[in-house]
Structure formats: structure tokens, C-alpha cells
Amino acid sequence: MYAFEPSEEQKMLIDAINRYAANDLRAAAHEAEESGELPPKLIEKGWELGVLQASIPEAYGGFGERSAVTGVLAAEEMAWGDLAGAMAVFTPHLFALPILLTGSEAQKQEYLPAIVEGEWRPYTAAMIEPFFDFDPQALRTTAEERDGGYVLNGIKIWVPFAAQAPAMIVYASLNGQTQGFIVPAGTAGLEISSEREKLMGLNALPFYRLTLKDVFIPKTQRLGEEAGHAMEPILAAQWVAQAAMAVGVARAAFEYSRDYAKEREAFGVKIAQKQAIAFMLAEMATEIEAIRLLNWEAAWKIDTGKEDAWQQAYLAAVGAMDMAMMVTDRAVQILGGHGYIRDHPVELWMRNGRGFAMFTGLMMV
């Protein structure tokens, strides 16, 4: 059957996240962006909502089962509050979910309970590389088989919380295939930049650059161990998260500019009463809904094991890039000069909106 209404349980989760997103994330977003710091208490409070914990089975310390549909609902709501905050809360997903989806039994036992039973700790992942044509499936960072293990070489950028991470997954090309490797903090040859990376947006998130020089990884630390792992489930989980967060940011920008347009007067009427503005808003709402549904279906395909799930997840992520750019740009446009001033959040959302084209690997549900 077709059905377009979240379950009661999902609705309760969305409500809880919405309160946190509105009262905590949104309230802190401006200050966090300007100062470059997210208060640890803020992240911890988001972590306690238990999105990841509910995705991990009891056998590994969690209290549920992973559902991509629930994940995209949660990610949209979280990112609606603030993208940087949402990404911070979800950073451990980047480590735990690949292990849950493709790790060996021993790897699940070793890492998952430690992550989900405790307070928020920034287990993270290194995916992005400093090239214009960066492609998660054609990485320049290499892994070579040597001495009963693997040796990693390369450069990774935009690794969230790398300096504080107890462990991270580093993606590298092994014989042309992207594979994940579990790299604990302090591994020899792993160099983390002392300075944080500087981006157009997401100033609140601490990103670091990694240099990997002959980093030796034992076979037991390859994701899925010797057999390795498929990349599709990981990419699909990244793409639907990306699309969901894009929907969340776009929805925030849409709502803010809609409300502004109903307040602001020009030529004796509210500007929302002008078709030039009203039609922009109608198109923004249309595109948000279009990508939301496309992404819901992609997530549902993941949950029901459809073969083309990863393909639709890709379509959703690509569509989300354009949608987020269009919607956030128009939000700034509707506020006019005021939209360009950092007192209003729309310029931040527009900078975030552009980023979705490059955020593959930074979010996962």
C-alpha cells in the first residue's frame, strides 16, 4: 500500500526533535556560527534524543533497529533547527552505521556498545579529498596490502571532530575499490592538522585535515575484515541523509521567508500579496515537497531491501542539491537587503544550501 503518514512512534520522535531543534539548536545557531563553537551540552542534549541508539539492535547495546525512513525524518527535523548542530549530533553515525551495515561481527561487538551506551563522543569518518572532481568511488587516498595488513597514504579534508575522535573510518582506494578502514586515534603516520579547516559555511563545526603517511592498519581493522564490504549501503545511507538535511534547511529558509513576506509591507500591501513573491514561495514549497517524497521513497527502498535503493538515494541527493540552492537563494532574495545581513539566518542557510553539493560523506542515517 501507499502511505504518507509517519507512524505514531515516528511522530513522537519528530516532535521531540522538533522541540530540541527549535528551542536549542535554532536558538544557539547564530552564536555558534559566529564564534565557531557548539556548546558541548547542546550536542549532548541532542545525542540523548537517541536517534542513533534506536538504530542499533539490543545485541550491540542499542534499543531498536535501523530504519532509513525514521532516519530521514529525524535528519530533516534536526537540520531544520541548525545544520551544523545536526551534523555534530549525528557525527558518531559516520562511524557506527558503516560498522552496523557492513562491519564484521567482531567489529560490531567491539565498537557499537561503546558508542551507543555512553555519552556523545565524536567517533567520525574521513571521506572528502581536496580535488575539484572528488568522487567517493574514485579516491586518491590509497590502501595497499602489505605485511598482513594495509598501508594508507593520502590526504583527507573536512573530517569533523578529527582532533577529538577516539577512532575514525578512513575511506581509501584498494585496487580501485573504495574501502573503509578503522583508524584509532594516535595511529602512527596519521597526522591531524593543528588548525581547523575554513569553509564558506558550517563555521560552528570543527573540521580537520588529515595527512596519512604509510599508516599501517591490521586486517582486522578493515571494514568487514578481510572480505571487505560493499559501498552501496554506505553511499545510500549518506545520500538519503544529505537529501533529508537539505530538505530541513530548505524548509527552515522557506518558513522564515514566508513569515517575513507576510509581515513586510511595500506599496501599501504585504509583499506576500504580490504574485512575484507569492509564486517564488509556491515554487519553493513545491520543490521541497518533491525532494522530500523522492527521498522518503529512497529510504523506504533501503529499508525494504530494493535493489535500486542506492540509485534512488543518489537521485534524491542530486535533486536535493539543486532544490536547497534554489530555495535558500530565494529566501535571501525575498528578504532583500535584510537577507544579506547576518542578523537574519537566511544568508547562513544559503551558504549551507550551496554546500550540499559537496557534503557527501559528512552525514549519514
Q: By CB under 8 A, is residue 279 in contact with another protein?
A: yes
CB nearer to another protein: pick between 8 and 147: 8
How far apart, in whole angstroms, are the C-alpha atoms of residue 98 and residue 93?
Answer: 8
Length of the chain: 365
Kindly tell me which residue out of 3, 58, 147, 195 binds another protein, with binding defined by CB under 8 A: 3
Question: Nearest CA to 169 among 137, 178, 71?
Answer: 178
Q: By CB under 8 A, is residue 133 in contact with another protein?
A: yes
Q: By CB under 8 A, is residue 293 in contact with another protein?
A: yes
Q: By CB under 8 A, is residue 210 in contact with another protein?
A: no
Q: By CB under 8 A, is residue 137 in contact with another protein?
A: yes
Q: By CB under 8 A, is residue 123 in contact with another protein?
A: no
Q: By CB under 8 A, is residue 333 in contact with another protein?
A: no
Kindly tell me which residue out of 216, 290, 333, 338 binds another protein, with binding defined by CB under 8 A: 290
Looking up cell 545511507 gives: 237
Question: Nearest CA to 73 among 136, 5, 10, 159?
Answer: 10
How does DSSP assign 300-350, residue by residue?
A: HHHHTT-TTHHHHHHHHHHHHHHHHHHHHHHHHHHHGGGGGSTTSTHHHHH
Distances in Å between the Cα of 309 and the Cα atoms of 59, 187, 291 are 26, 36, 15
In the shown chain, the binding pattern of residues 304 to 323 toward another protein, with x for contact by CB under 8 A and - for none, equals x-----xxx-xxx-xx-xx-
Q: By CB under 8 A, is residue 281 in contact with another protein?
A: yes
Least separation, in Å, of the C-beta of 10 and another protein? 8
The angle that helices 232-263 and 309-335 make with each other, rounded to 10 degrees, is 20
CB nearer to another protein: pick between 82 and 287: 287
Distances in Å between the Cα of 18 and the Cα atoms of 26, 76, 82, 260 are 10, 10, 11, 21
At residue 217, what are phi and psi to the nearest 5 degrees?
Answer: -125, 120
Q: By CB under 8 A, is residue 289 in contact with another protein?
A: yes
How far apart, in whole angstroms, are the C-alpha atoms of residue 292 and residue 286?
Answer: 10
CB nearer to another protein: pick between 191 and 308: 308
Task: Report 175-194 residues binding another protein (CB under 8 A).
Answer: none
Q: Who's near 205: CB < 8 A, 6+ residues apart?
A: 38, 84, 87, 88, 160, 161
In the shown chain, the binding pattern of residues 53 to 92 toward another protein, with x for contact by CB under 8 A and - for none, equals ----------------x-----------------------
How far apart, in whole angstroms, are the C-alpha atoms of residue 111 and residue 108?
Answer: 6
CB nearer to another protein: pick between 204 and 294: 294
CB nearer to another protein: pick between 42 and 317: 317
Task: Report 238-277 residues binding another protein (CB under 8 A).
Answer: 258, 261-262, 272-273, 275
Residues that bind another protein (CB under 8 A): 1-7, 10, 69, 132-135, 137, 235, 258, 261-262, 272-273, 275, 278-279, 281-283, 285-286, 289-291, 293-294, 296-297, 299-301, 304, 310-312, 314-316, 318-319, 321-322, 357, 360
